[in-house]
Amino acid sequence: MYIIMVASECAPVAKVGGLADVVHSLSGELDQRGHTVEIILPKYDCMRYDHIYDLQIAYRDLWVPWYGGAIHCTVWFGFSDGRRCFFIEPHSQDNYFNRNNFYGFHDEVMRFAFFSKAALEFMLKTNKRPDIIHAHDWQTGLLPVLLYELYQYHGMQQQRVCYTIHNFKHQGVCDEEVLWASGLQRPEYYGNRDRLGDDFSPRRINLMKGGIVYANYANTVSPTHAWEARHTEQGYGLGHILHVHQHKFGGILNGLDYEAWNPETDTLLPHNYTVNNLDGKYANKIALCNRLLLEEAYKPIIAYIGRLDTQKGIALIRHSLFYALDNGAQFVLLGSSPEARINDEFWKLKFELNDNPDCHLEIGFNEELAHLIYAGSDMVVVPSLYEPCGLTQLIALRYGTVPIVRAIGGLADTVFDWNDEHKSPNPNCQRNGYVFYDATPEGLESALHRAIGLWNSHPDIFRRLLVHGMKCDYSWKQSVQNYLNAYEHISVTKV
- In this structure, the chain runs to a length of 495
Q: How many CB atoms lie within 10 A of CB 420?
A: 13
Q: What is the pLDDT of residues 319-331, one digit of tens each?
A: 999 999 999 999 9
pLDDT beyond 90 at 122: yes
Report which of residues 420 and 439 the model is more confident about.
439
pLDDT, one tens digit per residue, over 300-323 is 999 999 999 899 999 999 999 999
> What are residue 351's phi and psi, to 5 degrees?
-65, -35
Which helix (H) or strand (E) covers residue 36, if one does?
strand 36-42
Stretch 31-40: mean pLDDT: 97
Distance, in Å, from the CA atom of 207 to the CA atom of 209, rounded to the nearest integer, reads: 5
pLDDT class of 14 with cuts at 50, 70, 90? very high
* pLDDT computed for residue 429 by the predictor: 56
The pLDDT, as a whole number, for residue 420 is 83
List the one residue out of 91, 44, 99, 94 whose CA is nearest residue 71: 91
Averaged over 334-341, what is the pLDDT?
Answer: 91
Q: For 181-189, what is the mean pLDDT?
A: 96
Instruction: Read off the pLDDT of residues 359-369 as tens digits, 9 standing for 90 and up.
Output: 999 999 899 99
pLDDT digits (tens, 9 = 90+) for 402-431: 999 999 999 999 999 999 876 654 445 578
Q: Using one digit for the tens of pLDDT, what is the confidence trace for 471-491?
A: 999 999 999 999 999 999 999
> Rounded to whole angstroms, how far apart are CA atoms 430 and 202?
47
Measure CA 313 to chain center: 17
pTM, two decimals, is: 0.93
For residue 242, the model assigns a pLDDT of 98
The pLDDT of residue 427: 45
Q: Where are the alpha helices (DSSP H) in 429-475?
A: 441-457, 459-471
Percent of the chain predicted with pLDDT > 90: 94
The overall average pLDDT reported for the chain is 95
What is the reported pLDDT for 193? Answer: 94
Helix axes 459-471, 441-457, angle to 10 degrees: 110
One-letter amino acid for residue 163 of the chain = Y
